Amino acid sequence: MAKKKAATPKSESKPRVLIVYHGSNYTQDIKRMYENHPTITYDITVKTDEAIRNLRSKDPGGNSIKGYDIIDQSGSRRKKNLNDESARWILDNADTETNIINRCYSAQVLANYNGVDVARLNEYQKGKQEIELHQGAEGREKAYIHKAHRWGIPVAEDSESKLELLASSEQVLECGKQKTRIHEIFKSRKNPKHIGIQGHGEQGVGKELMYGILNDIHASGYKGKQ
């Protein structure tokens, strides 16, 4: 009688990540950020904006983007329309428990999606920038993130009812002379799993900040967590 083989232990499933390329120069840096996470191994898929448009036409209900633990939408060096159909289709159709990270241009789309205005800044922002992390009643602390844009999401009474402010900075808007507080990191109050980052945390100075956000996501639970 043949000896029965021992059962293979079931391995813990990896968090599934979909990176959506909207035309950012930093998309490969986003992928490397996940690949180099110090403690977590991810199952990573990258799709272009064209691939997402094709999915929309074939799969209007979004079944093809169900099941991801994280969808990470890049910025864009070419897009300006804040009603971008591909980015909004993902926000509309991903699982409600999927964490959607929206960077730079995609963060502006997320703000617009939640009914919050986006404004042009007085000066183009480039390189390492200091931002202020909000820690509730215990105060705030400084952090740094890489910038490459000229747009901001002003903090106002209306925006605070729709977006939870997690980090901010003070900038001069093109239409003003005095500094205005703008959102740097925020969550949608409608779905707190939708996160906006008005910058490029995938770059060197922002990676520690991004790994903190990812660790918070995993600590709070995600779709594939055992």
Q: Answer yes or no: is 201 within a domain.
A: yes
pLDDT digits (tens, 9 = 90+) for 118-157: 999 999 999 999 999 986 545 568 889 999 889 999 999 8
Q: Answer yes or no: is 8 within a domain.
A: no
Domain holding 29, by residue range, is 16-220
Q: Answer yes or no: is 130 within a domain.
A: yes
Q: Answer yes or no: is 73 within a domain.
A: yes
pLDDT in tens, the chain (226 residues): 444 444 333 346 899 999 999 989 888 999 999 999 999 999 999 999 999 999 999 998 899 999 999 999 999 988 889 999 999 999 999 999 999 999 999 999 999 999 999 999 999 999 999 999 986 545 568 889 999 889 999 999 889 899 999 999 999 999 888 999 999 999 999 999 999 999 888 877 778 888 889 998 888 766 544 3
| Alpha-carbon gap, residue 182 to 155, rounded angstroms | 5
| Alpha-carbon gap, residue 62 to 42, rounded angstroms | 22
Instruction: Name the token pair of 33.
Output: 């950020």
Q: Answer yes or no: is 212 within a domain.
A: yes
Q: Answer yes or no: is 7 within a domain.
A: no
Q: CB neighbours of 141 closer than 8 A, spacing ≥ 6?
A: 132, 133, 135
Q: CB neighbours of 148 closer than 8 A, spacing ≥ 6?
A: 25, 26, 75, 104, 125, 126, 127, 200
Block residue for tokens 């993902």: 90
Query: What is the three-class DSSP state of 194?
Result: strand
Q: Answer yes or no: is 109 within a domain.
A: yes
| Alpha-carbon gap, residue 12 to 181, rounded angstroms | 43
Q: Answer yes or no: is 9 within a domain.
A: no
- Asked if 174 and 122 count as a contact pair (C-beta separation under 8 A), the reply is yes
Query: What is the three-class DSSP state of 157?
Result: helix
- Asked if 207 and 145 count as a contact pair (C-beta separation under 8 A), the reply is no
Q: The domain spanning residue 28 has which CATH number?
A: 3.40.50.880
Instruction: Indicate the number of domains in the chain.
Output: 1
Q: pTM of the predicted model, to two decimals?
A: 0.89
